Structure 1
């Protein structure tokens, strides 16, 4: 028996021979990771928002010249003016008693007439001490006090909305959503694996590796967070990606081991063959995924950086676990891995691992490769077509779940005080922003803005203690992210500011911020960074596949096929969420676009995950070619042998990702639909039709390598021959 020398083979052989060390070593690693992570804690950023453009400059000025403030408002609304007044007085008294509260403003005090609405509603405003994190904690007793006022005044509405109260409520809603996803993902994954293997023990092995990899990664991310603070969404991406790749990698390994056993190989030889082939494919695909995920570091956004750190950590852990502890577990279990058989399901499995359904489809594809390739490409291009009109937006207040009490308060406030909760904010800097010339220019700005029909009165002006900076909050019409608000922003930036405060004597700078401005600046920023991220991922993936398969055609074709998958996913996202299809079924209202961060995120994640299947299948093809099989026969053998594995892995991913489409927030719905649709397309139309059709059409050209590149190292893909093949 020829001994295979590749790294995965050596690791698998050592693991099978020293199974106790491998298994207990892995358990110790997971426990140690959790202990270290618990001791250090994951360091979170002080502010998870990324501010760029003019709005970023405005925030920098505010941070330098204003103390940290957390503004809150309490709406009191009713038909009886006396009842409203009584409730306002009780609200002011109740809120003023709270230690963290300061600068309480009653609407009935002189100069606060803007806090009284035409419909009789009144606003009590105040501020909370401390940073954002401290305010989220200190707002709890305030909310309790407000609830007490509401209980004492049943004839009026009393509700609070502000930066701290909204952040607290939304954080709780996010947490509940992710708990729902976590709770559903595990049983669904186990069910799919049982259907795939027809045996409970075999189904449990991939799930155990996926879960242990996630646990270890959740502990390990505490280490890089000490240098690069990570947001709360890091844990979610670790679970999402970790469960997907952990299950995938073990599936590849386990299915190959079972296939070799079915061919008559000894238990030991079957593990060695799986290690040398599927184990090696796992290492290559894992490195490709890591390369793709690294592209997120170039997005220039701390949220993407956090997602990149989490994804790379869990993929690395899952990759290491699959080539170390999985062979040990299979060595311990032996043929007991088939224990807990589900009779009917187990009988459906075909000896040798080939799929009957995919086998028939593949036979048709290989008989008519040109027609199959043209039709499949046409379908993908048709799916991608709507993406040509994709519009990037950031989710606004209108996109948040309306069943949240805090958003119900917001809607009532917005009805009485339009635009006041999401104003456009003009930040000016000068020698003295209280000088007569500057004050006159501010009044001129207010008059012109209201006369334009795109803004509401009153305008709120806040001046820093050193009188160098002033913030002018102008209530903007629209939702903050719709066309009406964007037209108002354009008018403000292009003409109104320049004609008023921007040209006032003593004013050295004037910037516009607020939700609308921040959204536009962030979208423009991501559009500028996208080519860098995409280029980085494509170039490194090309080089990695070029070296791995010693072919110029293979990496080019892999990139083109992956881009088709991603393009189709973009098209479906645009058609569903931007054009508003299936709104009722999915429980959302279209905001006229696709959330701005999602295209880059989807590209990186999908490019990495879809490469799993591509590398797995191509490794099997190259393995057969290295043994002397013709390319066409190798493709037929590889696709049929791997189809059920790829299908099972894809179904797990699709099911887990689809859970996110059932969550409350539209961003999660878009992410879930985008990921699940793309994986489904990639594992079926691309891998079962386009890949084999193009490989047959190209024939020997699949392995074309220019003479000038023959210096590249050659990696043999064939496995150790089993006894039945020797």
Structure 2
């Protein structure tokens, strides 16, 4: 069927290219406004208790402060007349801004928690209305107007809204830098691999199709559902990398067929029937791994499934439609622009180097595999001390304004507002019951004070008047402050103690630490299902490709070893702080959502190369070649292609190591490292060693499954 399809593409190549060009223009128009439709949030479980608390606060109590202006007194004290006058003018001007409400300043309230311990700094806090995009746009405009240096006060902006502005600006900048690095370097590597300028440009064209098509998909999805802006980064890295990977297979096979003396029409059809089948299966494995992200309630993770599945499908379509049509039009001219030292036909059908590596491993499998396994286990060892966190201002570099404000508030003020626990009581509550509840909350370990409409309490004693704005006929809001560091073990225990305290009505605890607990629990609860989807789907697909139940199990084990080594290295760098000065990062817990994302992406990409290698080995074995000979020949025939594909894809990811947002650095460095490890140590050493050790058992399947494979198996043509 694929051979006939390839013949059809050859006969109608120019028409196919015209249609593809028109569709590409349409995708460009549809995807032009993609950034404006994407959101910067998505890190919380919308069904959690903390999300319910936040919704009730937004609907009934005007929301929580999401903009913090840190004012530093030029004269040394925020109580100096000049500073006080400037502070009141700042708060008054902010209160008059559209979309801003609940402005509270130290100079209006004299609240001690809004003044730093040394008296040099004070806070003005406010709530910015709107969805994620509206808040980001409004916050950006407000920061431009108010975060300035004056004669009496120097003002810096922080809070969630300001951090989102910083992160989004840095993401856009990082994306531009990554593309500026990856595209020229990729083109140079392609020219070196193919030895021909025209051959090198074809994979870049398919990568561009994948990126433009996925931008259009995300733009359309963003108009009907929440999609994270960070999905753009995956689209560019994966679109460029996979588009090039798949086109690399097509172009290499086409040039190989031409070199063997085939006519262009037969070469195109044969290329589609062989490399095209591998691409279909490889794309299915990557897309299947990414579907596991759909089980998580965080739209941050689901967005990567939307982007990842879309870019894989569009990259495969580009490789199976655009690439063969271009090859049909070019024919022998695919060699145009050949470098003087390059051999005609590009990479040889077999790689002597990888053939020698496979032969050496097959002669001494244990001796070759043992040091590799030990090295990977050592690399994985930092996982023994891994801890997890969620996205906050810590992902920004220390010099950014949002990060500076957060650090100053956490260390320089009497109570850490970032670790405050917001409690919402849904329904009417008697004032006496409310006062008793607030008093009991104030006696919890590490609680500094509890503010409610019935009064302010500290350590069981009433210390001040209440805030009437915290009470309504249909509910009450209480705020518990402490001196604990946000997301610390002690802060999490305090949230759990609040939730365990009997309340006079339905109580919902929210705030930074509550959101952290709920997000971590939501991911942990669905993680087994996500892993099961990936494992079972991968097992089924690899069985259909090889006809063996041993090969899927072997692939799963090796992938886990490789992933563990990668995550261990990332823990060593990003959590333990090694190389932190080189990367300009601050050590912090591993980001929970990003770790799950990397697992799914890297697992899928590893299976990509698994298909490239084991498909050729299985094909040779099915033709009657003994296993040890099939392994040597299969690695020799695919080694150069897999190495080139891995290097090109790794470049796309490593480029994000230049980002100024730490979790994007982690994503890029981790993905690139995992790809290199997989294409070299895993596929080059461990796979041949295990195949040699298993011998004939490699291809075992029970009788019923062998008959199933004979009927529906996805064998290489």
TM-score by length of 2: 0.89
Residue of structure 2 equivalent to 1:684:
680
Task: Write the deviation string for residues 192-247 of structure 1: whole angstroms up to 9, x where unpaired.
Answer: 21121122111111011011121012113344445543221222222121111111
CA contact (8 A) 2:285 2:541 kept: yes
Task: Write the deviation string for residues 494-547 of structure 1: whole angstroms up to 9, x where unpaired.
Answer: 3x665xxx346xx22334322222222212221221111011111011111212
Residue of structure 2 equivalent to 1:137:
137
| Residue 67 to residue 351, structure 1, CA distance change in 2 (3 Å) | closer
The DSSP-based 3-state class of the residue aligned with 1:109 is helix
Residue of structure 2 equivalent to 1:33:
27
| Residue 628 to residue 49, structure 1, CA distance change in 2 (3 Å) | closer
Alpha-carbon distance in 1 for matches of 2:171, 2:81: 39
The DSSP-based 3-state class of the residue aligned with 1:401 is coil
CA contact (8 A) 1:128 1:135 kept: yes
Residue of structure 1 equivalent to 2:17:
23
Residue of structure 2 equivalent to 1:463:
470
Task: Write the deviation string for residues 550-590 of structure 1: whole angstroms up to 9, x where unpaired.
Answer: 22222222222222221221222222222222222222221
Gaps of 5+ in 1: 1-6, 720-726
CA contact (8 A) 2:286 2:312 kept: yes
Residue of structure 1 equivalent to 2:692:
696
Residue of structure 1 equivalent to 2:54:
59
CA contact (8 A) 1:72 1:161 kept: yes
Alpha-carbon distance in 1 for matches of 2:619, 2:505: 68
Task: Write the deviation string for residues 478-506 of structure 1: whole angstroms up to 9, x where unpaired.
Answer: 2x13xxx3213304523x665xxx346xx
Residue of structure 1 equivalent to 2:85:
86
CA contact (8 A) 1:73 1:124 kept: yes
Query: RMSD of the TM alignment (CA)?
Result: 3.1
Give the alignment of 1:142-153 within 5 angstroms.
142-147=142-147, 150-151=149-150, 153=151
1:419 Cα deviation from its structure 2 partner: 4.5
| Residue 388 to residue 259, structure 1, CA distance change in 2 (3 Å) | farther
Give the alignment of 1:167-566 within 5 angstroms.
167-344=164-341, 346=342, 352-429=348-425, 431-433=427-429, 435-443=431-439, 445-446=441-442, 463-466=470-473, 468-478=475-485, 480-481=486-487, 485-494=488-497, 498=500, 502-503=501-502, 507-566=504-563
1:467 Cα deviation from its structure 2 partner: 5.2
| Residue 426 to residue 360, structure 1, CA distance change in 2 (3 Å) | same
Q: More displaced, 67-76 or 34-43?
A: 34-43
Alpha-carbon distance in 2 for matches of 1:85, 1:39: 44
CA contact (8 A) 1:425 1:474 kept: yes
Alpha-carbon distance in 2 for matches of 1:57, 1:127: 18
Residue of structure 2 equivalent to 1:76:
71
Q: More displaced, 396-405 or 212-221?
A: 396-405
1:183 Cα deviation from its structure 2 partner: 2.2
Alpha-carbon distance in 1 for matches of 2:659, 2:414: 29
1:716 Cα deviation from its structure 2 partner: 7.2
1:68 Cα deviation from its structure 2 partner: 4.5
Alpha-carbon distance in 1 for matches of 2:496, 2:562: 39
Q: More displaced, 395-404 or 203-212?
A: 395-404
Alpha-carbon distance in 2 for matches of 1:554, 1:451: 56
TM-score by length of 1: 0.88
| Residue 281 to residue 43, structure 1, CA distance change in 2 (3 Å) | same
Task: Write the deviation string for residues 69-127 of structure 1: whole angstroms up to 9, x where unpaired.
Answer: 65433333221522312321332343344344444444333564543344223333344
CA contact (8 A) 1:445 1:497 kept: no
Give the alignment of 1:596-611 within 5 angstroms.
596-611=592-607
| Residue 110 to residue 406, structure 1, CA distance change in 2 (3 Å) | closer
Residue of structure 2 equivalent to 1:123:
123
CA contact (8 A) 1:424 1:475 kept: yes
| Residue 114 to residue 294, structure 1, CA distance change in 2 (3 Å) | closer
Residue of structure 1 equivalent to 2:669:
673
Alpha-carbon distance in 1 for matches of 2:431, 2:285: 60
Alpha-carbon distance in 1 for matches of 2:188, 2:247: 16
Gaps of 5+ in 2: 452-456
Q: More displaced, 96-105 or 196-205?
A: 96-105
Alpha-carbon distance in 1 for matches of 2:450, 2:59: 30
CA contact (8 A) 1:42 1:230 kept: no
1:630 Cα deviation from its structure 2 partner: 2.5
CA contact (8 A) 1:55 1:514 kept: yes
Give the alignment of 1:529-678 within 5 angstroms.
529-591=526-588, 593-678=589-674
| Residue 348 to residue 597, structure 1, CA distance change in 2 (3 Å) | farther
Residue of structure 2 equivalent to 1:722:
none
Task: Write the deviation string for residues 310-346 of structure 1: whole angstroms up to 9, x where unpaired.
Answer: 11111111112212221121122222222222334x2
1:44 Cα deviation from its structure 2 partner: 4.3
1:41 Cα deviation from its structure 2 partner: 9.3
1:40 Cα deviation from its structure 2 partner: 9.8
| Residue 49 to residue 607, structure 1, CA distance change in 2 (3 Å) | closer
CA contact (8 A) 1:42 1:229 kept: no
The DSSP-based 3-state class of the residue aligned with 2:421 is strand
